[in-house]
Amino acid sequence: MKKKDDSEWSPEAANALRMLPPGSYKDYLRLFHSENPECQVSFKLFTRVWEESFSHLRIRQAGSQAMCTTCLKHKAIMKRLGSNQAALMAQSKLWGAHMKKQFSDRECYWNYRSLSRIGSDVDGQSTLTLIIDSMDHAKWSLPRTAVMAAKQFNNVVRPHMECCAVIAHGHLVAVAFAEHHIIKGADFTCELLVHVLHKLTQSGIDLRDFEVNIQSDNCTKETKNNSTLRLLAFLTSRRAIRRARMHYCMSGHSHEDIDQYFSLLGAFLSTQTELHNPQQFMDALKVYMGNESVRPNERMREVIKVEAVRDWKTWLMIGCRRNFLKGLGGPGAPHAFFFDRREDLTGWLVTFRGALNGLCGKQLSSCDKGR
Ligand SMILES: [Zn+2]
Q: How far does residue 345's CA lie from ligand 1's centre (Å)?
A: 35
Q: How far does residue 260's CA lie from ligand 1's centre (Å)?
A: 20
Query: Both 185 and 244 in a single domain?
Result: yes
Q: CA-to-CA distance for 261 and 274, rounded, in angstroms? A: 22
Q: Contact 320/212 with Cβ under 8 angstroms? A: no
Q: How far does residue 170's CA lie from ligand 1's centre (Å)?
A: 30
Q: Which residue has the higher pLDDT, 178 or 352?
A: 178
DSSP-derived secondary structure letter, 242: S
Per the structure, the count of domains in the chain is 2
Query: Both 92 and 131 in a single domain?
Result: no
Collapsing DSSP to helix, strand or coil, 339 comes out as strand
pLDDT of 37 above 50? yes
Query: Both 89 and 182 in a single domain?
Result: no
Q: How far does residue 18's CA lie from ligand 1's centre (Å)?
A: 17
Q: How far does residue 332's CA lie from ligand 1's centre (Å)?
A: 13
The average confidence (pLDDT) of the chain is 84
Q: How far does residue 306's CA lie from ligand 1's centre (Å)?
A: 35
Q: Contact 106/291 with Cβ under 8 angstroms? A: no
Inside any domain, residue 367? no
Q: How far does residue 63's CA lie from ligand 1's centre (Å)?
A: 15
Banded model confidence at residue 157, pLDDT cuts 50, 70, 90: confident
Q: How far does residue 10's CA lie from ligand 1's centre (Å)?
A: 26
- pLDDT above 70 as % of the chain: 88
Inside any domain, residue 319? yes
Q: How much is the average pLDDT of 32-49?
A: 88
Q: How far does residue 81's CA lie from ligand 1's centre (Å)?
A: 19
Q: How far does residue 161's CA lie from ligand 1's centre (Å)?
A: 30
Q: How far does residue 224's CA lie from ligand 1's centre (Å)?
A: 19
Query: Both 273 and 322 in a single domain?
Result: yes
Paired strand residues for 248: 216
Q: Contact 181/152 with Cβ under 8 angstroms? A: no
Query: Both 67 and 150 in a single domain?
Result: no
Query: Both 224 and 297 in a single domain?
Result: yes
pLDDT by residue (tens digit) across 227-248? 999 999 999 999 999 999 999 9
Q: CA-to-CA distance for 174 and 304, rounded, in angstroms? A: 7
Q: Which of 225-234, 291-300, 351-360 is the least confident region?
A: 351-360
3-state secondary structure 259-323: HHHHHHHHHHHHHCCCECCHHHHHHHHHHHHCCCCCCCCCCEEEEEEECCCCCHHHHHHHHCCCC
Inside any domain, residue 115? no
Query: Both 225 and 158 in a single domain?
Result: yes
pLDDT of 9 above 60? no
Q: How far does residue 71's CA lie from ligand 1's centre (Å)?
A: 4
Collapsing DSSP to helix, strand or coil, 172 comes out as strand
Q: CA-to-CA distance for 31 and 19, rounded, in angstroms? A: 16
Q: How far does residue 192's CA lie from ligand 1's centre (Å)?
A: 29
pLDDT of 363 above 50? no
Query: Both 264 and 312 in a single domain?
Result: yes
Q: How far does residue 258's CA lie from ligand 1's centre (Å)?
A: 19
Q: How much is the average pLDDT of 334-339?
A: 88
Inside any domain, residue 351? no
Q: How far does residue 212's CA lie from ligand 1's centre (Å)?
A: 27
pLDDT of 369 above 60? no
Q: What is the pLDDT of residue 365?
A: 40
Q: How far does residue 263's CA lie from ligand 1's centre (Å)?
A: 22
Q: How far does residue 73's CA lie from ligand 1's centre (Å)?
A: 9
Inside any domain, residue 350? no
Q: How far does residue 211's CA lie from ligand 1's centre (Å)?
A: 29
pLDDT of 306 above 60? yes
Q: How far does residue 285's CA lie from ligand 1's centre (Å)?
A: 34
Reference 18, options 49, 60, 51; nearest CA is 60
Q: What is the pLDDT of residue 30?
A: 85
Q: How far does residue 50's CA lie from ligand 1's centre (Å)?
A: 22
Query: Both 43 and 68 in a single domain?
Result: yes
Q: How far does residue 54's CA lie from ligand 1's centre (Å)?
A: 22
Q: What is the pLDDT of residue 332?
A: 75
Amino acid identity for residue 239 in this structure: R
The pairs formed by 6-15 with CB atoms below 8 angstroms and a separation of 24 or more are 6/58, 6/60, 6/61, 6/260, 6/263, 9/260, 9/263, 9/264, 11/264, 11/293, 11/294, 11/295, 11/296, 12/293, 14/257, 14/260
Amino acid identity for residue 234 in this structure: F
Query: Both 57 and 175 in a single domain?
Result: no
End residue of a domain, out of 80, 105, 130: 105
Inside any domain, residue 340? yes
Q: How far does residue 98's CA lie from ligand 1's centre (Å)?
A: 6
Q: How many CB atoms sit inside 10 A of residue 68's CB?
A: 21
Q: What is the pLDDT of residue 8?
A: 47
Q: How far does residue 15's CA lie from ligand 1's centre (Å)?
A: 24
**Whole-Å CA distances, 190 to 206, 213, 231, 274:** 20, 15, 7, 32
Q: How far does residue 253's CA lie from ligand 1's centre (Å)?
A: 6
Q: CA-to-CA distance for 161 and 135, rounded, in angstroms? A: 10
Q: How far does residue 358's CA lie from ligand 1's centre (Å)?
A: 38
Query: Both 236 and 88 in a single domain?
Result: no
CA dihedral of residues 100, 101, 103, 104 (deg, nearest 10): 110
Q: How far does residue 83's CA lie from ligand 1's centre (Å)?
A: 23
Q: How far does residue 12's CA lie from ligand 1's centre (Å)?
A: 29
Q: In 140-240, where do the E strands start and end?
A: 162-168, 172-178, 210-216
End residue of a domain, out of 59, 78, 105: 105
Query: Both 99 and 136 in a single domain?
Result: no
Inside any domain, residue 369? no
Inside any domain, residue 357? no
Q: Which residue has the higher pLDDT, 259 or 321?
A: 259
Q: Which distant-in-sequence residues (6+ apart) come within 8 Å of 198 by Cβ? A: none
Length of the chain: 371
DSSP 37-60: TT----HHHHHHHHHHH-TTEEEP
Range(s) of the domain holding residue 43:
15-105
